Amino acid sequence: MSLPEPSDALPAARDHVAALQAEWRRERPDLDVGPQGVVGRLHRLAKALTAELVAVYAQHGLTEGEFDVLATLRRSGEPFTLAAGELAARTMVTTGGMTKRLDRLESSGLVTRTRADDDGRGRVVTLTADGRSRIDAAFTDHIANEHRLLDVLEPADAADLERLLTTWGSRLELD
């Protein structure tokens, strides 16, 4: 599923969500289905964006979850090491889910797991040199892809959208 090129960026007068809203207005005129215009479009856009992002991760042999783990370790700074529990918290993944991701990444030579110095039961996860090379290349392509996806908007519209989404997210306490 590809997003439109910048020349095709103007919204259609009647898209899929508008058609759904029209059907609901006909069937349930007692309800204000206006929010579907925003939430429905955001949902459809999120699905399309995710597909575009995941395609770039796959070019680097990574799943979305693996990219997230490597990126979290990389942006943590030298020595690119985090406790496994902290890594799970920062990626909003259960510890069981994190274990599966780390098993795959460790078997690929992208991370190592060792016992924590201060807690014999705890584990720390460290990005390997191969892991750093992989995430640096993947992140470079990821950012280029995000620029491509956002370039369908005028810069002022992109800035307005970022502001609106930030405000909405903070009011819904998503952080």
Q: Is residue 108 part of a domain?
A: yes
For 28-49, how does the pLDDT look when each residue is reduced to its tens digit (9 = 90+)? 999 999 999 999 999 999 999 9
Which residues span the domain enclosing 81? 31-145
Q: What is the CATH number of the domain that holds 139?
A: 1.10.10.10
Residue 9's pLDDT is what? 45
Residue 35's pLDDT is what? 94
Q: Is residue 151 part of a domain?
A: no
- Spatial distance between the Cα atoms of 166 and 34, rounded to a whole number of angstroms: 21
Query: Residue 1's Cα: distance from chain center in Å?
Result: 17
Q: Is residue 155 part of a domain?
A: no
Average pLDDT along the chain: 89
For 115-166, how does the pLDDT look when each residue is reduced to its tens digit (9 = 90+)? 877 666 678 999 999 999 999 999 999 999 999 999 999 999 999 999 999 9
**Cβ-proximal residues to 113 (8 Å cutoff; 6+ apart), any chain:** 84, 102, 106, 123, 124, 125, 126
Distance spanning both ends of the chain, measured CA to CA: 29
Q: Is residue 51 part of a domain?
A: yes
- Spatial distance between the Cα atoms of 29 and 117, rounded to a whole number of angstroms: 64
Q: Is residue 19 part of a domain?
A: no
For 66-120, how does the pLDDT look when each residue is reduced to its tens digit (9 = 90+)? 999 999 999 999 999 999 889 988 988 888 888 899 999 999 999 999 987 766 6
Q: Is residue 25 part of a domain?
A: no
Asked whether the CA dihedral 147, 152, 156, 161 is positive or negative, the reply is: negative
Q: Is residue 78 part of a domain?
A: yes
When divided into structural domains, the chain yields a total of 1
Q: Is residue 17 part of a domain?
A: no
Burial of 127 from C-beta contacts in 10 A (0-12 / 13-18 / 19+):
buried
CA angle 54, 2, 33 (to 5 degrees): 95
Model confidence pTM above 0.95: no
